[in-house]
């Protein structure tokens, strides 16, 4: 790939005479338009070429990332067509040619594949040649891209396929898809694509403009961490004509991120979810997990959403569509090997009797200068132990046994010297130094630990849960239940740093449902407390998890599936085969 790219850049350099970057790009575009006539192998080099010509060659990967130029594999393109173009064709008069749009078309992988399907149908039904068919269908293929190089290549390709008919590419334009006259104004029958990903505030200078566009459609402000791809989802859904269909690649975080909630709700109001696709592995060069959302603007809503996974896509079990205010994570869970939620019996939520807080950056930085290494024997007199996420496992705290990182430094036994905190931080510490359950975030299952005597200070972003002391065991047992971890994944998949991890906010935790069987819950609460004092906590934890399954009324034969899923996600340090468990006594 690198050699081919260098050869292409050398060819461009030998044929163009300008040294200014803008002219160089325009001349490269002209050359690519010609190369598109007979050189397919150039196509996959275009994102790197573009990045190399627009930026310093050494930062071409960064430039490519910045543009979000990761082209879609053929198998996924075909799946999107199966889910959008084909059903549209099935429901319309064979003479009708749909207007197909890819708002960020790159080299037109979606448009060329859609065009080929339409051409094959036309040539099979009529006596016209492939070239004549491309001449007729070409103008119905609408594509935008900011980058002149893929646009030039696609225009050249379409003109060639249509027997040098320049009209075939008249709907392919180099433009910002979000500019006036582009996506916000156009309508189409079929919309396909893989828009650029990225949280606007972090990755583009156009963040404000993009958010304003979305806010106009939503009639409410868009949160600062909404992904740009979600804005394309919203504008594409709005651009869909009656009975139209669309399939759009999205980052998996769009399914559950808080700041895209308004977009999900609006999209559900104007379209219906037909199917989704997701994959356990990343199918693009970028390290982002993706999904495909296929939607229709038809009057009838399907009772079930079809789910697909992997490449080539396999059909999985369908699921009921999400409703307004729900996240969409469950659309992708099966494809990632995560079981669906079983029917269970619940009663109320944790918020009915508990309080939760996650603290903020202020508390993290407010500890600066007050953290010290504890003397081995006299730790408790010097100040409370400071506990980080990395020190917590289910029912275990490894403070003093495992090192941890705080403020960019490694500590063996970090304590906080309370007299060195300012008044606000002292008040904060006082409020945290009470009996509580601590819950770290970004873990593969929920990993609660009980601080029965209230001696630990939690480091941000650990969630602290408080309640009357006799109910703390119940909180721990509930958070330890495999079904609660599973529910957390079904509510927030894709919002953590890795697709495998769970990230709940304090308010998410308070909305978790409690079990209906209080006797079983109390028995599990005792086992949870016991696990903290046990040299072999995995036994008490397994027992606690089993008992919690009963508390939620899950039959024994079904419970195994969820217990197995949970056990293989537990941290290695408390897996039954590992004996190096650190137990903290109170
Ligand atoms: C992930 S690539 C997808 C290309 C093509 N649809 C495919 O799937 O193979 C995203 C494309 O969006 C383009 N792009 C990024 N921001 C854009 C914008 N605001 N308007 C139009 N195109 C944009 C990039 O240049 C890049 O070609």
Which is more confident, 195 or 498?
195
Cα distance between residue 115 and residue 224, in whole Å: 37
Cα distance between residue 76 and residue 82, in whole Å: 10
Which is more confident, 411 or 211?
411
Mean pLDDT of 188-215: 82
The SS3 of residue 129 is coil
- The tokens for 453 are 């005597």
- pLDDT value for 534: 66
Question: For residue range 499-512, what is the model confidence (pLDDT) as tens digits?
Answer: 788 999 999 999 99
Cα distance between residue 509 and residue 358, in whole Å: 10
> Can you tell me which residue has the tokens 């606007």?
200
Probe ligand 1: pick from 51, 68, 108, 214, max atoms within 8 Å of CB? 68
* Mean of the per-residue pLDDT values of the chain: 89
- pLDDT value for 444: 94
- pLDDT value for 581: 32
In ligand 1, the atom with minimum distance to the C-alpha of 206 is 19
Probe ligand 1: pick from 64, 195, 213, max atoms within 8 Å of CB? 195
Give the least confident one: 135-144, 374-383, 443-452: 374-383
The SS3 of residue 107 is coil
- The tokens for 265 are 């709700």
* Distance in Å, CA 549 to ligand 1 centroid: 47
Most confident of 39-53, 57-71, 131-145, 198-212: 131-145
Task: Classify residue 232 as exposed, middle or buried by CB count within 10 Å of its CB (0-12, 13-18, 19+).
Answer: buried
- pLDDT value for 249: 97
CA–CA distances in Å: residue 309 to residues 196, 278, 336, 462, 490 = 22, 5, 8, 33, 16
In ligand 1, the atom with minimum distance to the C-alpha of 193 is 6
* Distance in Å, CA 548 to ligand 1 centroid: 48
Closest Cα to atom 9, ligand 1: which residue? Answer: 71
* Distance in Å, CA 503 to ligand 1 centroid: 30
- pLDDT value for 582: 33
Please report the domains of the chain, with CATH numbers, ordered by start residue: 2-66 (no CATH), 72-104+177-336 (3.40.50), 349-574 (3.90.220)
Give the least confident one: 4-8, 70-74, 156-160, 483-487: 4-8
Closest Cα to atom 4, ligand 1: which residue? Answer: 106
- pLDDT value for 583: 34
Probe ligand 1: pick from 50, 101, 106, 197, max atoms within 8 Å of CB? 106
- pLDDT value for 577: 43
Is the predicted pLDDT of residue 584 greater than 50, yes or no? no
Is the predicted pLDDT of residue 3 greater than 50, yes or no? yes
Closest Cα to atom 6, ligand 1: which residue? Answer: 105
Q: How many helices, marked H, and strands, marked E, lie in the chain?
A: 23, 23
Measure CA of the first residue to CA of the last residue in the chain; give whole Å: 60
Which is more confident, 101 or 11?
101
Probe ligand 1: pick from 44, 46, 102, 104, max atoms within 8 Å of CB? 104
Which is more confident, 476 or 215?
476
Question: For residue range 103-126, what is the model confidence (pLDDT) as tens digits?
Answer: 999 999 999 999 999 999 999 988
Is the predicted pLDDT of residue 62 greater than 70, yes or no? no
- pLDDT value for 575: 62
- pLDDT value for 223: 84
> Can you tell me which residue has the tokens 């039954």?
576
Q: Which residues line ligand 1 (CB under 6 A)?
A: 67-72, 102, 104-106, 109-110, 144-147, 150, 176-178, 193-194, 196
Question: For residue range 263-315, what is the model confidence (pLDDT) as tens digits?
Answer: 999 999 999 999 999 998 887 766 788 999 999 998 888 999 999 999 999 99
Residue 40: count other Cβ atoms within 10 Å of its Cβ. 9
């Amino acid at each position: 790939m690198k050699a081919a790219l260098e050869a292409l850049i050398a060819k461009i350099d030998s044929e163009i005479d300008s040294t200014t970057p803008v002219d160089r790009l325009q001349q490269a575009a002209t050359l690519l338009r010609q190369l598109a006539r007979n050189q397919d192998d150039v196509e996959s080099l275009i994102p790197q070429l573009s990045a190399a010509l627009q930026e310093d060659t050494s930062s071409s990967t960064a430039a490519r990332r910045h543009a979000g130029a990761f082209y879609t594999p053929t198998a996924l393109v075909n799946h999107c067509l199966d889910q959008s173009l084909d059903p549209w064709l099935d429901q319309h008069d064979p003479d009708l040619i749909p207007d197909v749009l890819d708002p960020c078309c790159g080299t037109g992988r979606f448009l060329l594949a859609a065009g080929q399907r339409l051409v094959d149908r036309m040539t099979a039904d009529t006596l016209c040649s492939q070239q004549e068919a491309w001449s007729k269908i070409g103008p119905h293929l609408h594509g935008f891209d900011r980058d002149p190089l893929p646009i030039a290549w696609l225009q050249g390709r379409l003109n060639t396929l249509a027997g040098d008919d320049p009209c075939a590419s008249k709907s392919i334009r180099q433009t910002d898809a979000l500019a006036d006259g582009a996506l916000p104004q156009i309508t189409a029958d079929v919309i396909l694509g893989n828009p650029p990903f990225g949280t606007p505030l972090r990755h583009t200078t156009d963040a404000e403009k993009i958010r304003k566009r979305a806010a106009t459609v939503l009639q409410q402000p868009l949160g600062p961490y909404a992904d740009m791809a979600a804005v394309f989802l919203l504008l594409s859904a709005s651009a869909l004509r009656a009975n139209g269909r669309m399939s759009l690649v999205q980052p998996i975080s769009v399914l559950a991120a808080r700041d895209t909630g308004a977009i999900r709700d609006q999209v559900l109001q104007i379209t219906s979810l037909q199917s989704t696709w997701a994959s356990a592995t990343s199918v693009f060069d970028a390290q982002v997990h993706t999904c495909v959302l296929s939607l229709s603007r038809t009057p009838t809503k399907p009772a079930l959403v079809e789910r697909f996974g992997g490449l080539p896509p396999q059909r999985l079990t369908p699921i009921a569509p999400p409703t307004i205010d729900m996240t969409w994570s469950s659309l992708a869970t099966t494809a990632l090997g995560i079981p669906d939620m079983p029917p269970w019996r619940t009663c109320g939520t944790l918020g009915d009797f508990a309080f939760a807080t996650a603290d903020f950056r202020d508390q993290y930085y407010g500890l600066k200068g007050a953290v010290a290494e504890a003397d081995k024997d006299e730790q408790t007199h010097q100040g409370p132990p400071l506990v980080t996420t990395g020190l917590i496992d289910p029912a275990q705290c490894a403070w003093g046994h495992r090192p941890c990182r705080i403020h960019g430094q490694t500590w063996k036994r970090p304590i906080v010297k309370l007299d060195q905190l300012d008044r606000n931080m002292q008040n904060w510490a006082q409020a945290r130094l009470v009996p509580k359950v601590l819950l770290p975030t970004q873990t593969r299952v929920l990993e609660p630990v009980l601080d029965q005597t209230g001696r630990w200070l939690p480091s941000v972003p650990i969630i602290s849960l408080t309640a009357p002391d006799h109910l703390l065991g119940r909180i721990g047992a509930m958070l330890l239940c495999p079904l609660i971890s599973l529910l957390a994944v079904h509510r927030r998949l894709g919002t953590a740093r890795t697709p495998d991890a769970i990230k709940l906010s304090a308010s998410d935790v308070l909305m978790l449902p409690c079990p209906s069987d209080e006797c079983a819950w109390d028995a599990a609460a005792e086992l949870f407390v016991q696990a903290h004092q046990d040299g072999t906590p995995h036994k008490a934890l397994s027992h606690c998890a089993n008992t919690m399954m009963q508390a939620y009324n899950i039959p024994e034969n079904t419970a195994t599936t969820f217990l197995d899923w949970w056990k293989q996600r537990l941290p290695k340090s408390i897996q039954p085969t590992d004996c190096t468990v650190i137990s903290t006594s109170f």
